[in-house]
């Protein structure tokens, strides 16, 4: 049985503030770092030597080319090179390709080897400030393996925005459309709260709100958002809340559950903005009380969706 065969349903984990990570290495060195990715963003691991790589002229240096897998052309991103650990020819031959799904964008990440799948609670995921000091930081958070080894979770959205920017959200796409929509007074005057741990996604959302001349307040994870709300005298003045699903300390599903259990926040519109776009996640978000779901490549739709939900809830 392969490591990916051991995956449970994502939503069952998320409801318990848990996640499963596929741990892998990008080098054969004994002291090489461990990295991880949420298993629900992965499809399979294939051996590099079994797939012919077609190079793309004038492509980004990290975009090695494409392979054909089951009739699909899949771009291959050189993760070791992105992390400053380039592989030589022999290592490249022995390497593997991790096929991933980001917001419906299928890509392959070159890795050396898949290690194992681990289950973690989101409160075991740590995001020290040192990861957030620079806009070009590559690490979002970390956790520990059973033997104490550090395992790093990367900002894969930053990798995509660096190498395949056309796969990311167009922050100006709906600016013109907003001019023909009447923005509710509560949204105009109030401050929308956002929980998002990816700096790449944070920048996109900030730009979207700036373009719409609307106020927002960003939190690096769901727990910080909930802690802030608890300091407010009247949380019902919040026009809307946007939350990612995958975040250290507290998942977006736990954020939704917490807000819906509190009488003072029960009626605030909640929009999930996530790259975990599977139908199970969308359905679970709705069951828990979210009012809408937008995948991160379509975040330009988020303000029109907030307005639509606010009007429906009046």
Per-residue pLDDT averaged across 151-175, rounded? 80
Per-residue pLDDT averaged across 49-73, rounded? 90
pLDDT at 277: 66
Token output for 240 = 């809307």
Q: How many CB atoms lie within 10 A of CB 207?
A: 16
Residue 5: pLDDT over 50: no
Residue 48: pLDDT over 90: yes
pLDDT band, residue 176 (cuts 50/70/90): low
pLDDT at 174: 62
pLDDT at 300: 82
pLDDT tens, position by position, 243-275? 998 888 898 999 999 999 999 999 999 999 987
Residue 15: pLDDT over 80: no
- Closest by CA to 35, choosing from 75, 67, 82, is 82
What's the CATH superfamily of 175-313? Answer: Response regulator (3.40.50.2300)
Q: How many CB atoms lie within 10 A of CB 70?
A: 5
Strands (E) across the chain are located at 18-25, 34-38, 42-47, 63-69, 72-77, 96-102, 105-111, 113-121, 139-144, 150-154, 191-195, 215-219, 241-243, 270-274, 292-295
Question: Could you say which DSSP state residue 139 is in?
Answer: E
Per-residue pLDDT averaged across 221-232, rounded? 95
Rounded Cα–Cα distance for residues 4 and 26 (Å) = 18
Q: How many CB atoms lie within 10 A of CB 50?
A: 10
Residue 223: pLDDT over 60: yes
Domains 3-166 and 175-313 share a fold: no
Query: What ranges do the domains of the chain cover?
Result: 3-166, 175-313
pTM of the predicted structure, to 2 decimals: 0.79
pLDDT at 204: 87
pLDDT at 259: 95
pLDDT at 182: 85
pLDDT band, residue 18 (cuts 50/70/90): confident
Fold of 3-166: OB fold (Dihydrolipoamide Acetyltransferase, E2P) (2.40.50)
Percent of the chain with pLDDT over 90: 53
Which is it for strands 63-69 and 215-219: parallel, antiparallel or unpaired? unpaired
Phi, psi of 40 (to 5 degrees): -80, 0
Average pLDDT score over the chain: 86
Residue 6: pLDDT over 60: no
Q: What contacts 192, CB < 8 A, 6 or more positions away?
A: 209, 214, 215, 216, 217, 238, 239, 240, 241, 242, 306
Per-residue pLDDT averaged across 180-191, rounded? 89
pLDDT tens, position by position, 286-311? 888 999 998 887 888 899 999 999 98
pLDDT at 115: 92
* Length of the chain as a residue count: 314
């Amino acid at each position: 049985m392969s490591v990916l065969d051991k995956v449970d349903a994502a939503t069952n984990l998320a409801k318990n503030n848990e996640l499963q990570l596929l741990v892998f290495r990008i080098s054969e060195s004994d002291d090489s770092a461990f990295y991880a990715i949420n298993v629900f963003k992965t499809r399979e691991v294939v051996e590099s030597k079994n797939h012919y790589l077609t190079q793309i002229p004038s492509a980004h240096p990290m975009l090695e080319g494409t392979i054909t897998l089951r009739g699909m052309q899949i771009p291959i991103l050189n993760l070791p090179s992105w992390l400053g650990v380039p592989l030589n020819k022999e290592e490249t031959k022995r390497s593997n390709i991790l096929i991933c799904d980001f917001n419906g964008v299928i890509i392959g990440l070159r890795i050396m080897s898949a290690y194992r799948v681990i289950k973690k609670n989101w409160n075991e995921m740590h995001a020290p400030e040192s990861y957030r000091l620079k806009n070009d930081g590559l690490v979002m958070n970390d956790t520990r393996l059973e033997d104490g080894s550090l395992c790093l979770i990367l900002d894969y959205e930053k990798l995509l925005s660096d190498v395949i920017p056309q796969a990311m959200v167009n922050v100006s796409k709906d600016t013109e459309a907003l001019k023909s929509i009447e923005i509710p007074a509560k949204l105009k005057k109030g401050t929308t709260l956002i929980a998002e741990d990816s700096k790449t996604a944070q920048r996109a959302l900030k730009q979207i709100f700036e373009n719409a001349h609307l106020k927002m307040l960003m939190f690096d994870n769901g727990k910080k958002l909930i802690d802030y709300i608890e300091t407010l005298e009247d949380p019902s003045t919040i026009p809307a809340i946007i939350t990612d699903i995958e975040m250290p300390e507290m998942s977006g599903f736990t954020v939704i559950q917490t807000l819906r259990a509190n009488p003072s926040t029960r009626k605030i519109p909640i929009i999930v903005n996530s790259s975990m776009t599977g139908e199970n996640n969308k359905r679970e978000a709705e069951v828990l009380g979210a009012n809408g779901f937008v995948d991160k490549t379509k975040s330009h739709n988020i303000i029109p969706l907030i307005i639509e939900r606010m009007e429906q809830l009046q």
